[in-house]
Amino acid sequence: MKINHTSFFYIINLLSWLLVLVIPIEHALMVIVLIFAFSGWAFGVWPQSIISLGILLYLEILGIFTFEEGLQGYAQPFVWLLVATFVIAAGFEETGLGRRIALAILSLVKGNGAASIGVVILSLTVLGLLIPTGAGRIAMILPVCIGLIEVVKASGGGSSYAKSVLIAVTFTSSFMSFAIITGSSSSVYAASTIQLTTGFFWSYGYWLIVNGPIAILMLLILWGVLLWKFPLEKASWSDGRAYIALKLEEMGTISPKEMKLFLLSIIMLTGWITEPLHGYSVSMTAMLVALLSCLPVVGVQKWKRASKSINWDVIILFGAAYALAEAIQTNGTADWVAAGLVQFIPQNSPILTALVMIIIVSIFRFGFANMLGITAVFLPFSISLAQSLSINPVWLAQIVVISCSIGYFLPSQSPANLMTFALGQYTRKDLSSVGMYLFLAIIPITLLLAYFYWPLIGLNPN
């Protein structure tokens, strides 16, 4: 499989140069870079950072964008929001606060296995508000879930419980990636790119108001589908409840470090939500809390250790994606592609346009393990397409952001899928069967809320 991917990567990039013979040269060169980015991020033949930095060099060599202009992406505030979120997530791991929160929420379940699955979903949702990285959230809750699975299995619970819990973790992580602006690097990137290209500023609170209801509905549907697809052999889970109590007892009383981090998190959330009042950006507030977490007395961790948790591959990809979006816009290729699509989509047809974009993105999503990569490719095109069709570009862009999270079918479609699938508790068929129902649900839910609910809160399709 790897050999096939490698061969295809080189062949498609060599053949891409034939485009200079059939389309205008300036657009052909831009598409060549896009194919390099698309195939590189999708197939993983070269390391992700090499592809990302290679994009900056490619843009310079082909005369599209200077290397210095490309590097400006790394000066954007949202890049440093990502750095701050990695440091904050390290603090949760260092103190164990994330695990305590998950255990505390799970302890609310009295004696019902079905309810415990719902509370697993609730736990990860709460962690999504406090821990602004997907991998960090899963790292906090996965050990707890594994322990629960072992206990329930030992008491005769069977495999259905394991499947439900782990698939719940997988898809809850996916929904939280678009529900909040700090839910994933792709959401951070999208907010930044939308501001760059349209001038529209997304606040933390408004993003949550727009996307939160869709995520909540999908979480409820997820819970129902899991209970239907994997009926529990044993309704009571008294042993599971005892396991939670034991683990909380082992953790002891909340430590001073945990309390400090909890207070810092409340300060951060409050700062994010009240951003329109005080004017301090989400990025600045996050960086303030990240630095405070590493200071003597008020802090909970050492900078030397926390800095090792920063995923520089994601940071490098983010900057390259930013440069790619800017190049597509300034080069005119986004408008050129949009002009071609306009011939097939009627003017002022927001629902039809949104449906077309959801389907296209979902198809291409099969080849991407990185949500940020596919967002970087399709977001600029959706903005130009919306402008060409007299549709609100922010409205359509937000639908594309949600569409980019649809990695519901294969373990390879996201790190969350891989992390839970690697435990061997569910099959590819289990994942894709649940994913199909979620896919069929998220399309009408997104379109209905986008057309009827979003205008009520100020985000109109036209």
Q: Dump pLDDT digits (tens) for 282-333.
A: 999 999 999 999 999 999 999 999 999 898 988 998 888 888 888 988 889 9
Residue 103 lies in a domain: yes
pLDDT digits (tens, 9 = 90+) for 379-400: 999 999 999 999 999 999 999 9
* pLDDT band with cut points at 50, 70 and 90 for residue 234: low
Is the residue at 39 inside a domain?
Answer: no
pTM for the complete prediction?
0.87
Q: How many domains does the chain have?
A: 1
CA distance 301 to 423: 30
- Residue 273 structural domain: 47-457
Q: Cα(462)–Cα(457) distance, rounded to whole angstroms?
A: 14
Q: What is the pLDDT of residues 344-369, one digit of tens each?
A: 888 888 999 999 999 999 988 887 76
- Residue 42 placed within a domain: no
User: What are the tens digits of pLDDT across the range 179-208?
Assistant: 999 888 889 999 999 998 899 999 999 999
3-state secondary structure the chain: CHHHHHHHHHHHHHHHHHHHHCCCHHHHHHHHHHHHHHHHHHHCCCCHHHHHHHHHHHHHHCCCCCHHHHHHHHHCHHHHHHHHHHHHHHHHHHHCHHHHHHHHHHCCCCCCHHHHHHHHHHHHHHHHHHCCCHHHHHHHHHHHHHHHHHHHHHCCCCCHHHHHHHHHHHHHHHHHHHHCCCCCHHHHHHHHHHHHHHCCCCCHHHHHHHHHHHHHHHHHHHHHHHHHHCCCCCCCCHHHHHHHHHHHHHHCCCCHHHHHHHHHHHHHHHHHHCHHHHCCCHHHHHHHHHHHCCCCCCCCCCHHHHHCCCCHHHHHHHHHHHHHHHHHHHHCHHHHHHHHHHCCCCCCCHHHHHHHHHHHHHHHHCCCCCHHHHHHHHHHHHHHHHHHCCCCHHHHHHHHHHHCCCCCCCHHHCHHHHHHHCCCCCCHHHHHHHHHHHHHHHHHHHHHHHHHHHHHHCCCCC
Rounded Cα distance between 271 and 226, Å, is 36
pLDDT at 91: 92
pLDDT tens digit sequence for 84-120: 988 998 999 899 998 898 888 888 876 677 888 898 8
What confidence tier does 61 reach under pLDDT thresholds 50, 70, 90?
Answer: very high
pLDDT of residue 194: 93
Cα-Cα end-to-end distance for the chain? 45
CB proximity list for 246: less than 8 A, separation 6 or greater: none
In the block, which residue shows the tokens 């719940």?
A: 168
- Cβ atoms of residues 317 and 373 within 8 Å: yes
Stretch 274-285: mean pLDDT: 91
Which pLDDT belongs to residue 98?
87
Cα–Cα–Cα angle for 460, 386, 445, rounded to 5 degrees = 55
Q: Is 199 left (phi over 0), alpha (psi -120 to 50) or beta?
A: left
Confirm if 108 and 120 have CB atoms less than 8 A apart: no
The 10 Å Cβ neighbour count of residue 35 is: 17
Specify if 116 maps to a domain: yes
Does the pLDDT value for residue 257 go beyond 50?
A: yes
Q: What is the mean pLDDT of residues 47-71?
A: 92
pLDDT in tens, 4-33: 778 889 999 999 999 999 999 999 999 999
Query: Can you read off the two tokens belonging to residue 328?
Result: 């597509």
Residue 2 pLDDT exceeds 50: no
pLDDT single digits (tens) 30-41: 999 999 988 888
Residue-wise pLDDT tens digits, 119-167:
889 988 988 888 877 777 887 888 888 888 887 777 666 688 889 999 9
Give Cα 20 to chain centroid, integer Å.
35
pLDDT digits (tens, 9 = 90+) for 205-231: 999 999 999 999 999 999 999 999 998
Of the pLDDT bands very low, low, confident and very high (cuts 50, 70, 90), residue 1 is very low
Q: Which of 189, 148, 412 is nearest to 320 (CA)?
A: 189
Question: Alpha-carbon Rg of the chain, whole angstroms?
Answer: 22
Q: What is the pLDDT of residue 108?
A: 81
Phi first, then psi: what are they for 46, rounded to 5°? -105, 155
- The pLDDT value given to residue 237: 61
Q: What is the model's pLDDT at position 139?
A: 79
Q: What was the pLDDT predicted at 438?
A: 97
Calculate ∠ Cα 206-211-216, nearest 5°. Answer: 125
Query: For 427-455, what is each residue's pLDDT tens digit?
Result: 999 999 999 999 999 999 999 999 999 99
76, pLDDT greater than 90: no
| CB atoms closer than 10 angstroms to residue 428 | 13
Is the pLDDT score of 3 beyond 60? no
Q: What is the pLDDT of residue 147?
A: 83
Report the distance separating Cα 402 and Cα 365, nearest Å: 12
